[in-house]
Structure 1
Amino acid sequence: MTLRAVPVGIGHYLPARIVPNSEFEKTIDTTDEWIRSRSGIERRHFAAEGETTSDMAIAAARAALADAGLEPGDIDALIVATSTPDLTFPSAATMVQAGLGLKSGFAFDVQAVCAGFVYALSTANAFITSGQVKRVMVIGAETFSRIMDWQDRGTCVLFGDGAGALILEAQDGKGTPEDRGILAADLHSDGDFRDLLYVDGGVSSTQSTGVLRMQGREVFRHAVEKLAETAHAALDKAGLGAEDVDWIVPHQANLRIITRTAQKMGVGMDRVVVTVQDHGNTSAASIPLALSVGVARGQIKRGDLLVTEAIGGGLAWGAVILRW
C-alpha cells in the first residue's frame, strides 16, 4: 500500500466588498473594456478596513472543516500560503491556529507568492506520505489590496483579496495513477527573474511595506511557457497525460494566460475551472478559491483528475497533480 494525501474538505471566503471595473474609472485612466480585454477580470473583492489575511483564512478554514465534518482538533498541521501576512512575525498560520482554538500540532507560513499554494500542497504531501501527520490543512490567503500602487493602472486593477482552504488526509492507496489524492508535484524557481514581479519594500532593505511592481509583458511570456512545461512534467511523474485530465485548476492571474496555457497543454477550455472574472488575481488564494468554487458549481467531482499550476514572483512556479 502507498500513503496518499487525499482531499476531504474544501472551503473559501471572500470579503463582502465587491469592486467592479467601473470603480477604477473614477480614479485612473482606464475603462471596464480595457481591463476585461487584457485580463478577463470583471470584478474583485477587497478586504474591509481592519479585516486581515488571518481573519479571511480562519473563515475559509472553518468552511473546510464543516465540509469535511471535522473539528479543529482533528488537524495535525496547518500551512498558510501568503505573501501578505498580518505581521512580519509571527506567522499568519499561528494566528489561524489560535483563531480556530487549535492547541495541538504545528503551524507555519509558506511564501512563494502566486505559486505559494502549489508549494504548500507539495509540502503537506511530504508530511503526510512520510507518516509524520495524518491531516494537514492547507490555506491560501491574501490581502493584495494593501500593497497596490493605486496610480499604476497596469497592476492595481488586477488583484483582489480572499482565502481558500483544503484539508488533506492520509489514506492508503494502491500506488497507481488511479489513486485518489496527490499523485505528483513539480516545483521550480529562478531568482534571476526576481525583478519581473516584486514588492519594492521590505524589512531589511527599506524598513517599509512597499508596493507591487510588475513587468507585465515579460511575466506573461514566462507564465505561458513555464506553466505548460511544469504541468506536463508533473503529469509525466504521475504516469499520466493531458488526455487523462478532467480539470485544469490554474492560478487565476489573467484569462489570456489561462487560455494560452490550456492550448499549449492540448486541453480545451471546457475542462478549465475559471474564476478570474469574479475574483481577479488573489495570488496564493486563487487556486484554493477556484477549487472550492469548482466543487460548489458541481464541476469537480470525486475521482476527477486535476492539474493545479501557478507562477509568481521569484520567479517561482510549479504544478501538482491531484485526484479528487
Structure 2
Amino acid sequence: MVTFATPTGTSNIGILGIGAYRPQRLVTNDEICANIDVDSEWIYTRTGIKTRRFCGRDENITTMSVAAGRAALANSGLTGADVDALILATSTHGRCIPSAAPPVATAVGANGVPAMDLSVGCAGFGYAMSVAQDMIRAGSATRVLIIGAEEISMSLDMTDQGNAFIFGDGAGAVVVGPTPTRQMGPVVWGSEGSQSELIQQSMDWKDYLLGASHTDRPYMRMNGTAVFRWAAFEMGKVARRTLEVTGLTAEDIDVFVPHQANARINELLARNLKLREGVPVADDIEYTGNTAAASIPLAMYELLKSGRAKPGDTALLLGYGAGLSYSGQIVAMPPAPVV
C-alpha cells in the first residue's frame, strides 16, 4: 500500500487584523415607524436599536465584502496574495449561482484560492471561524480571510411589526493565521433544527415562482418572543460550555461580544455569566441593528476603534440565529484597525 503525504499546520492561531464596511444610508426608527404601528421609543426600549444601515443601489454583498476584506488585509499588513482561502458567511447573497466568494476573492487580490459561501444565518461568522481554524491546523491553509456580510433589507417586509425594525446591512472581516502563541480557543457550535421555524423565509422560491398569485413574495419572518426566550436560556449554556472547553472562567474574560440581536438579551446573558465589574459588552446594535453574520466582526471592530477594548484582550464571542444555529468561542482581540 502506498503512503500518502500528510500536510501539517499549527495550533498557534489568532486574528491578524479586522475590517468593516457599513452602508451609506442611515435608517432611523422614525423612518421604520412610518410603516408600522409603533413609535421610536418602543423600538429602542425593546431592542436597544436607534438606527441601522441599508444598502443603496450601488451596494450589495459583493461590494461590502470587498471593502471589508480589503480593510482587514490592510489592517493585518497583508495583501490578497498572502491568504490561502476565503470564507464568506452570508445568507442574503442575491444569486444562487455563482456564489459570492470567488469574485470577492479575485477583487481583493486572492484570485485562485479556494473561496466559498457559508450560509448559517447569524451564527455564520462563528462557523466560518471554526472551519478556518481547522483548515490551518490541518495544514490545508496558512492564512484565511473570513468575511461576514448581509443585505437583509432586501428580505424585509417593512409592514411586519415583528421584525421590520430589527435588521440592518453591513460587512465585517478578519484575517486568521499563525501567531506566536495560541490566540483562538475551540468553537462550541451546533443547531436545533426542531426550532428552525422560529426564523424562516415565508415561502419557498419555487412555490412563489409557480404560484398563481404574486401578491406576496418570500420575506423573512421571525417569532421574536420565542427566539428571545430560547437565546436568553440556551446561549447562557453555550457560553459556559465555551469557557469550560477553553479552560477559562468568567473572571478571565476582558470583553463580551455577543451577537447583536437584542440589547436586552445581551444584558441578561452578561448578568447571568457574572462577568467582572466593568467588562465592556458590545452594543453595536444601537446604531447598526442586527446584521446577522456581520454582527460579531462589526461589533469587535467598533470596540477596538472606540478604545473600549484593547488588542490582546480576552474576548468571549457568542453567535446565534436561524437554524436555530449557535456558536461560541474565546479569542484574543486583534490589533486595533487603522482603516
User: TM-score with structure 1 length normalisation?
Assistant: 0.94
More strand by share: 1
User: Percent of pairs identical after alignment?
Assistant: 38
- The answer for unaligned runs of 5 or more in structure 2 is 1-8, 211-216, 334-339
User: Would you say the 8 A contact 2:49–2:288 is kept in 1?
Assistant: yes
Q: Deviation string for 1:33-76 (max 9, x for gaps)?
A: 11001100000000002421111011001111111111111111
- What is aligned with 1:57? 65
2:20 aligned with 1:18: no
- What is aligned with 1:201? 203
Higher-Rg structure is: 2
Equivalent position amino acid for 2:295 in 1: S
Cα distance in 2 for residues equivalent to 1:297 and 1:66:
19
Q: 1:74 aligns with which of 79, 82, 88?
A: 82
Cα distance in 1 for residues equivalent to 2:206 and 2:272:
40
1:202 shift after superposition: 3.6
Q: 1:214 aligns with which of 222, 243, 268?
A: 222
1:153 shift after superposition: 1.7
Q: 2:308 aligns with which of 285, 295, 299?
A: 299
User: Would you say the 8 A contact 2:122–2:322 is kept in 1?
Assistant: yes
Q: Determine helix, strand or coil for the equivalent of 1:12.
A: strand
- What is aligned with 1:176? none
Cα distance in 1 for residues equivalent to 2:179 and 2:42:
48
Moved more, 266-275 or 112-121: 266-275
Q: 2:317 aligns with which of 299, 305, 308?
A: 308
2:100 aligned with 1:98: no
Cα distance in 1 for residues equivalent to 2:139 and 2:131:
13
2:157 aligned with 1:155: no
Q: Determine helix, strand or coil for the equivalent of 2:139.
A: coil
- What is aligned with 2:136? 128
1:205 shift after superposition: 5.0
Equivalent position amino acid for 2:146 in 1: V
Within 5 A, what are the aligned runs for 1:213-232? 213-232=221-240
- What is aligned with 2:291? 282
Cα distance in 2 for residues equivalent to 1:49 and 1:202:
25
Shift in CA distance, 2/95, structure 1 to aligned 2, threshold 3 Å: closer
Q: Determine helix, strand or coil for the equivalent of 2:184.
A: strand
Structure 1: 4+ residue segments shifted above 6 A: none
Q: Deviation string for 1:210-261 (max 9, x for gaps)?
A: 1111111110000111211111111111110111000111100110011011
Shift in CA distance, 236/2, structure 1 to aligned 2, threshold 3 Å: farther
2:260 aligned with 1:252: yes
Equivalent position amino acid for 2:101 in 1: A
Q: 1:85 aligns with which of 93, 117, 139?
A: 93
User: Would you say the 8 A contact 1:226–1:317 is kept in 2?
Assistant: no
Cα distance in 1 for residues equivalent to 2:261 and 2:223:
14
Q: Deviation string for 1:169-210 (max 9, x for gaps)?
A: 12353xxxxx3x211210010111011111123445545971
User: TM-score with structure 2 length normalisation?
Assistant: 0.90
Moved more, 236-245 or 23-32: 23-32
Shift in CA distance, 127/207, structure 1 to aligned 2, threshold 3 Å: farther
- What is aligned with 2:121? 113
What root-mean-square deviation, in Å, do the aligned CA atoms of Structure 1 and Structure 2 show?
A: 1.7
1:2 shift after superposition: 5.5
Moved more, 50-59 or 38-47: 50-59
Equivalent position amino acid for 1:287 in 2: I
User: Would you say the 8 A contact 2:170–2:294 is kept in 1?
Assistant: yes
Equivalent position amino acid for 1:182 in 2: M
Moved more, 48-57 or 32-41: 48-57
- What is aligned with 2:280? 271
Moved more, 112-121 or 18-27: 18-27
Q: Deviation string for 1:136-194 (max 9, x for gaps)?
A: 01110000000001110220110000000000112353xxxxx3x21121001011101
Q: Deviation string for 1:61-96 (max 9, x for gaps)?
A: 111111111111111110011110131122111121
- What is aligned with 2:188? 186
Q: Deviation string for 1:105-134 (max 9, x for gaps)?
A: 210011110111111111111111112111
Cα distance in 1 for residues equivalent to 2:219 and 2:103:
24
- The answer for unaligned runs of 5 or more in structure 1 is 174-178
User: Would you say the 8 A contact 1:97–1:107 is kept in 2?
Assistant: yes
Cα distance in 2 for residues equivalent to 1:138 and 1:236:
26
